[in-house]
Structures are given as structure tokens and as C-alpha cells.
Amino acid sequence: MYKRARLKDTVEVPPEALGDVSPNLVKRLLQDKLEGRMDEEVGSIVSVTNVHDIGEGTVLPNEPGVYYEADFDAVTFDPQMQEVVDGTVVEVVEFGAFVGIGPVDGLLHVSQISDEYLAYDGENQQLASNESNQTLGVEDAIRARIVTKSIDERNPRDSKIGLTAKQPGLGKHGWLEEEHEKREATAEGE
């Protein structure tokens, strides 16, 4: 889930920039320091949008820069357990599909995609069912639920998000549309 958060952090202003300690400079330094980072409490920091307040500078021994505490707004992405998310398949592997949900990818294990057996087709980068001819491949839009979440602040790339698409109303968007059309046709025929 995307959120707007008011945060505080300390930023080092290098000596050559001390003549112009402005909100724009501090915003740029905060963007370089924080964007793309993962934090257990706020999630992934997508963008620093506005600097509200810059505190007094602090000089530390043997450090060339001056440190300023800043109060700022940021857009964050914090996936919540049981949250339903829409994403796009970014990679298909033998054991499932990686789904881009915001700035992170979640794993949709092959056992969590469908009740049907899905075979891996490496040549076409897709998972395919022999029963219904349904396929799931790169660039497919999918709706899934977050079922596991393990955030690694030090190395965000090692964070893990597990997904499921086996429940009603979840799955590849094309499958959901087909299911909806079948239900409407059945309702009209009654």
C-alpha cells in the first residue's frame, strides 16, 4: 500500500555546498540517501517529496560535512499481510512467477497460482495448464494476496514477499474476465 508519511532523518551536507543549505539541496541529498531503501516501520521509500524543516547544523570531529536533521514528506510503499494487490509478471521460473507490485517483487509459487497443474515452458517463459490451456507469462497482469512478508532493511533486494492467487477473485486478469463473462452468461440464461 502506498502512503504519504512525515519523516525525520539526518543528512550530511558536504563542505562545498555549505553556502546554500536550502530545502531543495536537502531534498536532493535525502533523495540520494533514502529513495529505494527499505525500512521495517514505513516500508520502501519511493520518493522524498517535500522538506518542511531543516534543523541547526552539527559538526562532528574528523568529519568534513555538517549534519542537519530534516523534517520531510515521503511517499512509501508498505505491503501489508493479506492485502490484495494488482501486479505484473516480471519473470517466470520453474517454481513460479515473480510479480512486480510497486517497487518490489513478490513470489507467486506455482502451487499458489491455480488448482490445475501448471507446467513450466522455458522456451516461451510461461506456466501452462494442459487441462484448460490457461497460461501465465511475462507481462501478464495478475491479482494476488500477500501471504508472507520478510523485510531485510540492510539489503532490500533480499526482502521476500509471498503471494497467492488461488482464492476466488484472484488470478490472472484475463482468467478473471473469462470467469465473470461465464457467470453473466449463466445468469442471463436462467
Per-residue confidence (pLDDT) for residue 115, from 0 to 100 = 87
Per-residue confidence (pLDDT) for residue 11, from 0 to 100 = 94
Of 47, 75, 103, the residue that ends a domain is 75
Per-residue confidence (pLDDT) for residue 190, from 0 to 100 = 64
Of 75, 98, 123, the residue that ends a domain is 75
Whole-structure pTM value: 0.74
Same domain? For 62 and 88 the reply is no
Same domain? For 24 and 50 the reply is yes
Per-residue confidence (pLDDT) for residue 156, from 0 to 100 = 63
Same domain? For 92 and 172 the reply is yes
**Tens digits of pLDDT across the chain (190 residues):** 888 999 999 999 999 988 889 999 999 999 999 988 887 788 888 899 999 999 999 999 988 999 999 999 999 988 889 999 999 999 999 999 999 988 888 999 999 998 889 999 989 899 998 888 889 999 999 999 999 988 776 766 677 899 999 998 999 998 888 888 888 888 776 6
Cα–Cα distance between 139 and 73 in angstroms, integer?
A: 32
Same domain? For 86 and 44 the reply is no
In which domain, by residue range, is 11 found?
A: 1-75
Same domain? For 91 and 179 the reply is yes
Three cell numbers at 6? 512525515
Q: Are 130 and 118 in contact (CB under 8 A)?
A: no
Secondary structure string (H, E, C) spanning 22-76: CHHHHHHHHHHHHCCCEECCCEEEEEEEEEEEECCCEECCCCCCEEEEEEEEEEE
Give the domain CATH number at 11: 3.30.1490.120
Three cell numbers at 105? 517483487
Give the three-class secondary structure for 131: coil
Q: Are 110 and 135 in contact (CB under 8 A)?
A: no
Of 75, 95, 127, the residue that ends a domain is 75
Same domain? For 182 and 99 the reply is yes
Cβ neighbour number for residue 32 with a 10 Å cutoff: 11
Give the domain CATH number at 112: 2.40.50.140
Same domain? For 6 and 26 the reply is yes
Same domain? For 63 and 87 the reply is no
Best CA proximity match to 84, nearest among 181, 176, 180, 157: 176
